[in-house]
Structure 1
Amino acid sequence: MTTADPSPPAPPPVDVTTIPQLQGPFAPVIEETDATDLTVHSELPADLDGVYLRNGPNPRFTPLGSYVYPLEGDGMVHGMWLSDRRARYANRFVMTEALREEEKAGRALWGGLMTGYTPGESEVGPELAGQPKALPDINVVRHGGRLLALAESDCPYCLTPSLETLGRETFGGALPAGMTAHPKVDPRTGEMAVFCYLLEAPYLTWATIGPDGVVTRPPTPVSGVDRPVMIHDMALTERFLVLVLAPLYFDLRAALSGGSLLSWQPEDGTRIALVPRGGGPILWSHTDTFWCWHTANAFDEDEQVVLDLVEWSRPGGIVPGPSEGGLTRMRIEPRTGEVRREQLDRGSMELPRIDDRLIGRPHERIALAAKTGRRPLVGGDHDALNFFDTRSGERVQWDAGELAVGEPVFAPRPGTRDVDQGWWVTFATNRANGESWFLVLSAAEPGRGPVARARIPTRVPLGLHGSWLPTQE
């Protein structure tokens, strides 16, 4: 006689045709590819020497029960290595323990985030049974000699320089719960600041990691947070970590009874926490409700904190209904908690980036992926790159036409500090024929479009965040 597995039946596979973010330029790729001496149109800049890496959701098997973009999907890191005007490409899955079990089974074993389903011991063994699936699919960064694929709120996975997976990274056990996908590195000190939200008390913590990869501040609770709340990104100034707490809460009771795991409660307003980096009480501000996926940067100015971010009326893709957005500058008064908001640019835009050498300091340029409004596009798809000048208030746009473009990342010219001396790089995929490209735009004249592009011999799905890692710092 055998004992029946107590796990409930697995939910059925999703109907891929009903989920736009599993089709077209988002459709997952299964093959891991290596390609050298890519065909280059025009000529790659001689000073562009390094590797551009980008992570993103790429389900290996058809998801079970539900699929919420951009919060789930197996991680796949795409790399573009550049040197001597030549380019090579490779992509690799981030091979988590759960993905290895699914590879053995030849199908998905874990349910989508909104289903709450996890496989039993008979399918995945005692260590993984009942555990949520690790999803290091959002960002990829390098710090302290480690190349890290980052999840929404979990331990990152360490990769080799050739993108093979080494395993979970807890920094010697000092960060057992991990971090979220958007740490920030202070370019003056080399210190990385991280935060992590949790489903049980203390709900929200922050920590720091030295430039050598050693944790210098252990996970420290953020006082004043009394329920689990989702926070995707952060910002950093010389004095503060800046955390935006919009009213998107985790509701485990509702999820267990068949409801939604995430609850949007706009009547609560949005809070902003200024966490003193040197220690001390958290400084809180409370303002009208808005949602923020991504910050661009923050800095201290005349005792105030200036925070640039993409503001939305609600978290689109999670909460039904239209969501209006734009690039916003907030001035926060730490002593009184007053928040003054100024909309810099209006429209559908996301994935804001600056020159990372200016994190925590005043910045002149913000680059974003955007929608022109000329084409019907689903959430997460963009047909333009915007470049906003914070001094003049002017915006330059490059219309990418049929190319679905990703997050722009700045690659500075070695040995220079001028923000016009360098390039914005990204991946792009043609919606009509599936051809993918690596694009290089001049930072001095980004509105003129790519000065060079390399043809990638496999499709690169739309993804999320990445890094430029120069050979010469």
Structure 2
Amino acid sequence: MTTTELPWHMRGHYAPVPDEISATDLPVEGSIPPELCGRYFRNGPNPLPGEVSPHWFVGHGMLHGIRLKDGKAEWYRNRWVKTKALEGQDSINRETGEVDYTVSLANTDVLPHAGRIMALVESSFPTLVTPELDTIGPFDFDGRLKTAMTAHPKIDPVTGDMHFFGYGFMPPFLTYHRLNAKGELVLSKEIEVPGPTMMHDFAITDRHAIFLDLPITFQMRLLERGMPYGWDPSYGARLGVMPLDKPGEVTWFDVDPCYVFHVGNAHTDDQGRIVLDAARYAPDDVIAMWESDTGPAAEDGPAKEAGPAAAAAATGTARFYHWILDPASGKVEETQLADRSVEFPTVDDTRVGRRARYRYAVAEDPGNRSAIVKYDDELGTVTAHELGTEVVGGEAVFVPSSAPDRAEDDGWLLTLTTRRDGAGAQLLILDATNVAAKPVAAITLPRRVPAGFHGSWIDDSEI
């Protein structure tokens, strides 16, 4: 198969790299803030040489890491997560339908908790890795975890508890889990939903978990297309609010049909209402995007050349929305917060589940104009660090400054950028108080980094 015959997610700035490398003393333009002593890790799919992945979401996980210390970029390294899937094992027994959650692609997220660093994908157990990106192996919390684990757990910044869930295509379709601050699995509770929905993300407040039961569902007929999930308008759309002190007791709120891959944040307001914000796809947009990923629409048009964000942008894509859910009245308010298309929303981790003024996201508009944007919830304004048409921005990870009584946006945004022509990659450090300004520092990496998914800043104090 020639390069031009490969699917879009195997070409250009999505194309996998063929090997693992290490490099030291990376070139830096500008000045790395001395406070940034730690590691930036980013996860994403990277099929092995010679493999043709049927879908962007199902390539083998590869971690990319940059070590910062004392104002220097000490090293870059990339490593495949050495999973059973990488060795060729299948997670599903084709005769019985049973799932082996120790077989993992481990390709979606990477984050620390309770002294562990976990590479995550929503179809399996977490895979532990070291601060040097070596693989330790699958982890089931000493035998307590019996389902897959979402790639988007939420850590309560006050208690240190990690809240997460697992979903599956066979019962139980949805299970809520909680780790304490020591990393011990202390609670698992099934949540009843009508069927096998694809629930990629969820949210917490200081007293609730919010589940997104939306109409992308498991469909056996799609199994051979790489991702056996598709849009199902008959399923309905609803948001579920579960008090954390009453696990399993969920109040459901019907909402307009849509899909959400990623939430920004949630909080409980002074009236006891739950306020949730997220990157929301309207039905036409999610169908256009999903078909560009999984079906015949990928053969032609913008999806083949530019990928799902640009393809969806041609007709409209995810917009930043919020919902206000009132348990007292059962009513829902739904509002679009900004018009610019966004994905990968993030928030200051110390504000997870609490009211937060700022969100950060990646924007990509028609014409492939990419940017890192900052949304101000108080003013309702959006400011942008424009990257132009030839550079693609990745998820922006907020790192707070250590200043006492700092303002919420006092810190930095780390984003891994890749050129569309595949020529190279940089880690940009932006001043979060002045996102539109020139980067504080730009670290040039020794190779191209394929467009990927999610990452984390892991401070030295966490290792």
Name the residue aligned to 2:371.
Answer: 384
CA deviation map 1:127-156 (0-9, x unaligned): x99999621100001112111000122111
Alpha carbons of structure 1 residues 167 and 131: separation in structure 2 relative to 1, 3 Å: closer
Name the residue aligned to 2:86.
Answer: 99
Structure 2 residue 449 is matched with structure 1 residue 449? no
Structure 2 residue 394 is matched with structure 1 residue 406? yes
Name the residue aligned to 1:123.
Answer: none
Query: Counterpart amino acid of 2:71?
Result: R
Shift of the alpha carbon at 1:325? 2.5
Find the aligned partners of 1:251 and 1:368 in 2 and give their Cα distance: 31
Shift of the alpha carbon at 1:338? 1.6
Find the aligned partners of 2:239 and 2:365 in 1 and give their Cα distance: 31
Which moves more between the two structures, 129-138 or 76-85? 129-138
Name the residue aligned to 2:353.
Answer: 360
CA deviation map 1:1-29 (0-9, x unaligned): xxxxxxxxxxxx89873422211111101
Structure 2 residue 38 is matched with structure 1 residue 50? yes
CA deviation map 1:78-130 (0-9, x unaligned): 111111111121111001012134xxxxxxx87xx9xx997x9xxxxxxx999
Match 1:195 to one of 133, 158, 165: 165
The answer (yes or no) to whether the contact 1:53–1:466 under 8 Å persists in 2 is yes
Name the residue aligned to 1:303.
Answer: 272
Give the length in aligned residue pairs.
431
1:287-298 correspondence to structure 2 within 5 Å: 287-298=255-266
Find the aligned partners of 1:203 and 1:180 in 2 and give their Cα distance: 13
Q: Determine helix, strand or coil for the equivalent of 2:68.
A: strand
Find the aligned partners of 1:167 and 1:384 in 2 and give their Cα distance: 36
The answer (yes or no) to whether the contact 1:205–1:220 under 8 Å persists in 2 is yes
Query: Counterpart amino acid of 1:298?
Result: A
Root-mean-square deviation over aligned CA pairs = 2.6
Query: Counterpart amino acid of 1:161?
Result: P
Structure 2 residue 50 is matched with structure 1 residue 80? no
The answer (yes or no) to whether the contact 1:419–1:443 under 8 Å persists in 2 is no
Query: Counterpart amino acid of 1:245?
Result: D
Name the residue aligned to 2:449.
Answer: 460
Gaps of 5+ in 2: 298-314
Shift of the alpha carbon at 1:257? 9.3
Q: What TM-score, normalized to structure 1?
A: 0.85
Structure 2 residue 268 is matched with structure 1 residue 275? no
Alpha carbons of structure 1 residues 470 and 371: separation in structure 2 relative to 1, 3 Å: same
Structure 2 residue 182 is matched with structure 1 residue 212? yes
Find the aligned partners of 1:215 and 1:130 in 2 and give their Cα distance: 19
CA deviation map 1:309-365 (0-9, x unaligned): 000014354245855320001101123332111101123210000101100001111
CA deviation map 1:202-234 (0-9, x unaligned): 2100010011111111x21002x1311100001
Query: Counterpart amino acid of 1:393?
Result: G
Structure 2 residue 118 is matched with structure 1 residue 148? yes
CA deviation map 1:39-61 (0-9, x unaligned): 10011111121111110111114
Structure 2 residue 168 is matched with structure 1 residue 168? no
Structure 2 residue 58 is matched with structure 1 residue 90? no
Structure 2 residue 220 is matched with structure 1 residue 233? no
Runs of 4+ in 1 over 6 A off after TM superposition: 13-16, 128-132, 256-260
Query: Counterpart amino acid of 2:412?
Result: W
The answer (yes or no) to whether the contact 2:431–2:439 under 8 Å persists in 1 is yes
Q: Which protein is bigger by CA-based radius of gyration?
A: 1
The answer (yes or no) to whether the contact 2:46–2:60 under 8 Å persists in 1 is yes
Alpha carbons of structure 1 residues 260 and 372: separation in structure 2 relative to 1, 3 Å: closer
Gaps of 5+ in 1: 1-12, 102-108, 121-127
CA deviation map 1:368-407 (0-9, x unaligned): 011143x3x4xxxx72111110000010011102211100
Query: Counterpart amino acid of 2:78?
Result: N
Query: Counterpart amino acid of 1:19?
Result: P
Query: Counterpart amino acid of 1:151?
Result: V
The answer (yes or no) to whether the contact 2:13–2:421 under 8 Å persists in 1 is no
Name the residue aligned to 1:370.
Answer: 363
Q: Determine helix, strand or coil for the equivalent of 1:462.
A: coil
Q: Determine helix, strand or coil for the equivalent of 2:241.
A: strand
The answer (yes or no) to whether the contact 1:229–1:247 under 8 Å persists in 2 is yes
1:429-448 correspondence to structure 2 within 5 Å: 429-432=418-421, 434-448=423-437
Name the residue aligned to 2:384.
Answer: 397
Q: Which has the higher helix share?
A: 2
CA deviation map 1:153-184 (0-9, x unaligned): 21110001111111101010111323110000
The answer (yes or no) to whether the contact 2:3–2:11 under 8 Å persists in 1 is no
Quote the sequence identity (%): 33
